[in-house]
Amino acid sequence: MARAGSGAEPWGRPALASLVAALPKGWPEGLTVLTGDDLYHLDRAQAAILDHLVPDRSATYGLTIIGDAPIPIPQLVGLARSGGMFATRRVVLVREVSVLEGEPDPLAAYAERPPTGSYILVRAPKLDRKRKLHKALAEAGTCLVFRTPANAAETKSLLAEMDAMAAERGVALDEDAARLMVDVCGHDLNRIAGELDKLSIWSGASAPKPFRIDAATVRSLLAGSELLTGWELADALTQRRPEAAMEAARRLLDAGEEPIRIAGGLAARARSLLKAKAMTEAGAPERAVVDAARAWYFRDALASGLKRYTLAELLAMPAQLLAVDRTFKSRSLDKGAVLESLVAQLTGAKGGSR
């Protein structure tokens, strides 16, 4: 398992597997910090370590959990150093790093020479190395990083894990459904797990297993959810389908989505298109283009869409988006109409807003 900042951290799934494989050999005493944006695997790592260190959670002395109340660092270290007659291990779990107060020196000293059978676990998804305490947490003791996928190969591994999670719930996603699920949920497996639970309940306990789920079903069950915001619109922009883009924009407006937020989704996809077009015209290989544009789930749409835009048209999009952003913030116009005008402008649609 790599330390934070080593530049060699695997993404969350392999990192968790490495941790689980190491646990039977024992866990290092002292300070353990769990960090990273992959909260799904981070939380499972925390549970695995606690199950190893404190298999009997009914023990009254073995485990102390620090919740929302602030705690001075010397007091935390004191708790971890205090031994007892009724437990062979002393484990203190800090659920949120923000509750720690004071200088980190006592914690660093504890991490360097911890007492026998003493452990402090700190859950800290975000560490800011500019802060003295956070820097100490990242560099003292054992710091485990659980990050989300960063390239196509790792994302493919995430898809395989999502398939396994679906199978556990008695459902199976077809390729388009899986693409939609990850497009709208990102790499957040906690959110994906919640949506899979919803699909499992919808499929019914008596349905044949695994119950096949298509993209239309996923779309219908996610309708009205913030997860779906902008996905269909971004896809229509990518493939330069003006009518579909306008229909998607109007559905989002009718559902009460903020125009400025919808425009933000369009801006993200426009950046991907521009980067991909520039790289393609420079002769970059397709795989490099897809990775740079983070287009792993809309590579086919990207390939077809790039043929429908010129580089000049894509280069004009940032200025168009910036102008609309300023209009949203400085004028008392109908923001829905402004957004529809933007969609028409970006896709080259004829006619104006409704």
| 234 and 207 within one domain | no
pLDDT recorded at residue 244: 92
Q: How confident is the model at residue 94 (pLDDT cuts 50, 70, 90)?
A: very high
pLDDT recorded at residue 6: 42
pLDDT recorded at residue 352: 46
| 207 and 94 within one domain | no
Residue at 307 is within a domain: yes
Residue at 1 is within a domain: no
Query: For the whole prediction, is pTM greater than 0.95?
Result: no
| CB-based contact 146:38 (threshold 8 Å) | yes
| 75 and 133 within one domain | yes
Higher pLDDT, 220 or 122: 122
Give DSSP secondary structure letters for 103-134.
Answer: -SHHHHHHHHSPPTTEEEEEE-S---TTSHHH
| 338 and 238 within one domain | yes
pLDDT recorded at residue 333: 82
pLDDT of 90 strictly over 60: yes
Q: How many residues does the chain have?
A: 354
- The CA-atom distances, in angstroms, between 55 and each of 75, 91, 120 are 25, 12, 16
The average confidence (pLDDT) of the chain is 87
pLDDT recorded at residue 232: 80
What is the number of domains present in the chain?
A: 3
pLDDT recorded at residue 300: 83
Among 123, 145, 167, the domain-final residue is 145
pLDDT recorded at residue 3: 46
pLDDT recorded at residue 206: 55
Instruction: Give the domain extent around 41.
Output: 12-145
DSSP state, residue 62 = T
| 86 and 51 within one domain | yes
| 127 and 21 within one domain | yes
Among 145, 162, 191, the domain-final residue is 145
Q: State the average pLDDT over residues 57-67.
A: 79
pLDDT of 228 strictly over 70: no
Residue at 159 is within a domain: yes
Residue at 22 is within a domain: yes
| 242 and 314 within one domain | yes
| 161 and 82 within one domain | no
pLDDT of 183 strictly over 90: no
Residue at 181 is within a domain: yes
pLDDT recorded at residue 5: 41
226-265 exposure pattern, b = at least 16 Cβ within 10 A, e = fewer: ebbbbbbbbbbbbbbbbebbbebbbebbeeebebeebbeb
Higher pLDDT, 263 or 255: 263
| 126 and 19 within one domain | yes
- C-alpha 53/C-alpha 261 separation (Å) is 45
| 316 and 208 within one domain | no
| 158 and 128 within one domain | no
Residue at 209 is within a domain: yes
| 264 and 167 within one domain | no
Higher pLDDT, 319 or 181: 319
Among 145, 169, 191, the domain-final residue is 145
pLDDT recorded at residue 216: 78
pLDDT recorded at residue 296: 73
Q: What is the CATH number of the domain that holds 328?
A: 1.20.272.10
pLDDT recorded at residue 223: 52
Q: State the average pLDDT over residues 267-294.
A: 91
| CB-based contact 199:218 (threshold 8 Å) | yes
pLDDT recorded at residue 4: 41
Q: State the average pLDDT over residues 36-63.
A: 88
pLDDT, tens digit, 9 for 90 and up, residues 95-108: 999 999 999 999 99
